[in-house]
Amino acid sequence: MKVDRTPLDARLRRIWRLTVDNGEPFPGEPALALRLGASRPAVREALIRLEHEGLIGKRKGSETAVNRAALEIPARFDQQIEKAQLIEAMGRKATLEVLESSVVRLNKEESAAFELPTGSSALRVSKRWRADGYPVMVAIDTVPIMTAKLPPNVDIGQSLFELVPKLGLDRPAWELAWPSATNLDATVARWLERPKGEAVLTMELTGVSRLGMRVYRAFEYHYPAAFRYGLIRLVPRPAKLPRAGANRTKNSHR
């Protein structure tokens, strides 16, 4: 029997997607534990994470609610996902191109952002993603390195999250993201094959390790017609108010 080594959260999302597609009720915790071959405590923790993502809503004594509207947001500000996976999730073929790469010296502003001495070495890579052959996204990634040369046999086109540890840094645990917008300069306009000065969505990203090190910075330029970004926010439940007659009953005994 082949063992499914896919992470528990990913398998749980598959079940969520099946319930959405088929209009079925979401299984209970005991059924999920049996179906996934996992302990109930592990499933319970995974369900909490799924609820925080806004995909389900649990309430004691009632059936788990499924947020079917979440499918309307394939690209979420509050989640990190590989760009190729994002493009393919929208039913389009993704291709990645490395446009430029070089070892640079960090200027004063960049060094301060990385909390490193001015002039420290870093790898800078400019990449472009295409969807069905059309340019939709450009990223300029900067990763600090300890030497003036790259380690041998490093694939600079691999995922940023895989590249960072290959360069001797701790793997990122968190990513800080600042969305904004800008007008394309000549270089990025040429890379995106769009007119200079056209408005695009931008993302400034900083990867942070568990030890608090800043292990990468990235500036992304997204062609706005290609992606519709969003997020899911949990609406707080109303606080329980005292019953209308509670105070009158209490006061009548004074």
CATH code for the domain of 17? 1.10.10.10
Q: What's the confidence (pLDDT) of residue 35?
A: 93
CA dihedral 13, 18, 23, 27 (to 10 degrees): -60
80 shares its domain with 206: yes
39 shares its domain with 93: no
Tokens of 136: 């939709």
151 shares its domain with 37: no
Can you tell me the distance from the alpha carbon of 19 to that of 34, in angstroms, rounded to the nearest whole number? 17
Can you tell me the distance from the alpha carbon of 231 to that of 73, in angstroms, rounded to the nearest whole number? 7
- The sheet carrying 134-144 orders its strands as 94-105, 121-131, 134-144, 214-222, 199-209, 172-183
Does some domain include residue 241? no
Which of the pair, 71 or 133, is modelled with greater confidence?
133
User: Which region holds residue 23: left if phi is over 0, alpha if psi is between -120 and 50, else beta?
Assistant: left
CB 138 within 8 A of CB 146: no
254 pLDDT above the threshold of 60:
no
Which of the pair, 175 or 152, is modelled with greater confidence?
175
195 shares its domain with 109: yes
48 shares its domain with 86: no
80 shares its domain with 20: no
The structural domain count of the chain equals 2
Q: What's the confidence (pLDDT) of residue 241?
A: 63
Q: What's the confidence (pLDDT) of residue 248?
A: 52
Does some domain include residue 236? no
Does some domain include residue 244? no
Can you tell me the distance from the alpha carbon of 71 to that of 23, in angstroms, rounded to the nearest whole number? 13
66 shares its domain with 116: no
Does some domain include residue 3? no
Averaged over 214-218, what is the pLDDT?
Answer: 96
68 shares its domain with 114: no
119 pLDDT above the threshold of 60:
yes
Which of the pair, 232 or 97, is modelled with greater confidence?
97
2 pLDDT above the threshold of 60:
no
Which of 1-5, 73-77, 173-177, 233-237 bottoms out in mean pLDDT, i.e. has the lowest?
A: 1-5
Q: Whole-angstrom distance between the N-terminal and C-terminal Cα of the chain?
A: 73
1 pLDDT above the threshold of 70:
no
57 shares its domain with 79: no
Does some domain include residue 97? yes
Residue 76 CA: distances (Å) to CA of 9, 92, 148, 223, 227 = 17, 17, 37, 15, 10
144 shares its domain with 123: yes
Tokens of 229: 């970004």
Residue 23: give the domain boundaries: 8-72
- Find tokens 């993603």 and name the residue: 129
104 shares its domain with 207: yes
Which of the pair, 230 or 46, is modelled with greater confidence?
46
